[in-house]
Structure formats: C-alpha cells, structure tokens
Amino acid sequence: MKKKLNITLLRRISQIFFFALLVYGGFLYLPQINTDIIPFIESNPDVKKIESLEAPQGYTEVFDTYTPFRTCRYLDGNRIFRACSLHYFTEVPVYGVPLYDFLPHFLIIILLSFIFGRFFCGWVCPLGSFSDGLNGIRKMLGLEKMKLPEKFLGFIKKTKTIWTVLLFILAIAIIVPFIGLTAFQNELFLVSCQTCPARNLFPLLSLNKPNWFQFDHPITITLSIIGIIFLIFLFFGFFGKRIWCRFCPNGIVQSWFNKGCLIVKEKDNQKCTKCGICKRCCPMDNETVFKEKNKKNVNSKDCINCFTCVDKCPEDDCLKVKFLGKTIFKSRYRDK
C-alpha cells in the first residue's frame, strides 16, 4: 500500500503555528520597522478608544500588517496580526476606520474565504486549536468522551444565525442616533468582543492581565453572563466535539462562503459503503457527508474544512478534496 499524505498532521502543524503566532506573536514586536517603507501601514487610529476599555498597555506603538486577520484586542502588544474577521463588521463601521487601513485586509480575507471557504476554524483559529487541544488532553488521560444532549445542539443550530445577525445589529446600532442606543455606547462597546471567550483566555495563556467580566450595568451584566456561558461552551470541547465553533459569529460569517468556494469536497456515492466513519469522526457533528447520496459536492455550511472525514474514509478514492477541478487529496484505505 502507498503511504498516504496525512492531511491531519498538516493541519495540526498549521494550527500550532498560528496559535503561537496569534497568541504569542506580540513578543515578536519589532519597534525598529520603518513605517515609511511600507505603504498603508500606520498606527491604528482606534487604539485610543480601545484603551478606554482598560485594555492592558504594554507597547506604545501599534502596527498593522497585511495579514488578513485582526488580532484579539485583549492581547497585550499583539496587534501585529489581525486574527478576527469580526473587526470589519463591528469596529470598522462604528469607529470609521479609514479605508486605506482596513480595505487591503478586508480584500485579502474575502479572497481567502472565496478560495478556502470556512478554513479559518479548522486551520487557523486559536480558539479552535485550543478546543482540539483540550480534546487531545482528554484522549491522553484516557477519559470517556461525552455526547451533549441533542436538544442543546439543536437549539444552537436554530439560533446561531439569529444570534449573529443580532450581534451585528447591536454593534452598529450604537452609532445610529434615532434607535436610542447611543446612550449606552460605553456598555455596548463591541458586543461581539465582550461575549467572546478569547477575551479572558488569550491574555491568560500569554501571561497577561486578563480582562475580567464587568458587572456594573444591566447591559454589561447580561453581556458578561452570555460571555461566561460561551466560555463554558468552549471548555465543552474537552468532551470530544467542538461546541463553541458552532456558535462563533466569525465562523458563521465565513460559513456563508462554504458552498461557493474553490475548495470542493467530493463524494463518489457508488464507492461509499455508508459505514458512518465520516459522521463519527466529524468534530462538528456534520452529517452532510454521510447522508448525501445523490450529489457529488458535499460542501456544507457546518463544515470547518478540517478534512478529517477524507483522512479517515476507508474506501479508496471515495472522498476527494478538489481545488479548481484538480484533486489535491483523496481518501485511501489504511492498514495501520
């Protein structure tokens, strides 16, 4: 039997690389970069507004680069890398970030999404990697995996889009005068960030001062409670499946690209023995690959493009990953 290129190994390397870069990248801060050489790079105009949220201060200057990701604002001195696409939906319209500052990044992330779909969750996102890491720890400890109740997962599935849309409306509503939310600008400041589990987790992981939840106003109390619930969701990843990723607004926005992107997962229905391995191995409990019996294309919204199913499929050539019609990876039987 031929030796198989292990796509899961490739993905793990990518995850570790980006985890290190996005969480500990701040330590790479190089003040001697001459900003005159690189066009479009200037100190971030929204920094001062961020400081009002008691973000820890470490460095006096902040750089932005061409990386398409907006880094987590709660990470000390780590604004070199943009790690979160939500920036374009919440921050940019609200604070009037100048076009030259965000447009290159925005275009790059749109382009990447058109090519790879929801690649972010499976290959880059440090929260996803953290979730996978927790699962790895459980495996090493030899603990049983736990199945979360169907009702709970069903609830998440139904409400995730509503939640995302609500989040964006709330984020933008604070600058629209006639809605009347302008009075709560301080409390509703960046709702998506206030409810994100990364807010406490990343500073703690990178040995910074964590940004504790605030309980001084009814709105902040509500948002903090939601944030705590989401933080608990993230730790559910310990039991085997990714839970937070099903609710993450960033992932949901990217999932809209999943059906039209250039990376296509194809299934040969005749070769499929319906053994259910793809369904069992999926970290997102995605059933599309298993249940699809007619169409070739098995891309779906819930898919995080981790290709675990392609890796595990025991039938030769049954599942294929195609890029512009060219097969780049296919399933193969492994005799361990």
Within 45-117, residue ranges assigned H as helices are 47-51, 87-95, 99-116
280 binds other proteins (CB under 8 A): yes
Indicate the residue type of 4: K
Q: Tell which positions 116-145 bind other proteins, by CB under 8 A.
A: 135, 138-139, 142-145
Q: Considering beta carbons, is residue 141 or 324 the nearer one to other proteins?
A: 141
- The window from 38-46, 68-76, 83-91, 268-276 that contacts other proteins (CB under 8 A) reads 268-276
Indicate the residue type of 26: G
Helix (H), strand (E) at residue 39? none
314 binds other proteins (CB under 8 A): yes
- The window from 22-30, 120-128, 152-160, 305-313 that contacts other proteins (CB under 8 A) reads 305-313
Sign of the alpha-carbon dihedral angle for 173, 177, 181, 182:
positive
- The window from 112-120, 179-187, 209-217, 309-317 that contacts other proteins (CB under 8 A) reads 309-317
DSSP-assigned beta bridge partners for residue 326 = 323
3-class DSSP assignment, residue 327: strand
240 binds other proteins (CB under 8 A): yes
3-class DSSP assignment, residue 238: helix
3-class DSSP assignment, residue 107: helix
302 vs 147, 241, 269, CA distance in Å?
A: 18, 13, 20
Q: Considering beta carbons, is residue 12 or 209 the nearer one to other proteins?
A: 12
4 binds other proteins (CB under 8 A): no
CB of 274 to other proteins, least distance (A): 5
- The window from 12-20, 40-48, 248-256, 311-319 that contacts other proteins (CB under 8 A) reads 311-319
Q: What is the DSSP string of 100-159?
A: HHHHHHHHHHHHHHHHHSSHIIIII-HHHHHHHHHHHHHHHHTPPP-PPPHHHHHHHHHH
Choice from 57, 273, 297, 327 touching other proteins (CB under 8 A): 273
Choice from 33, 47, 110, 281 touching other proteins (CB under 8 A): 281
Name the phi and psi angles at 49, rounded to 5: -65, -35
Binding site for other proteins (CB under 8 A): 135, 138-139, 142-145, 240, 269-277, 280-281, 293, 308, 312-314, 333-336
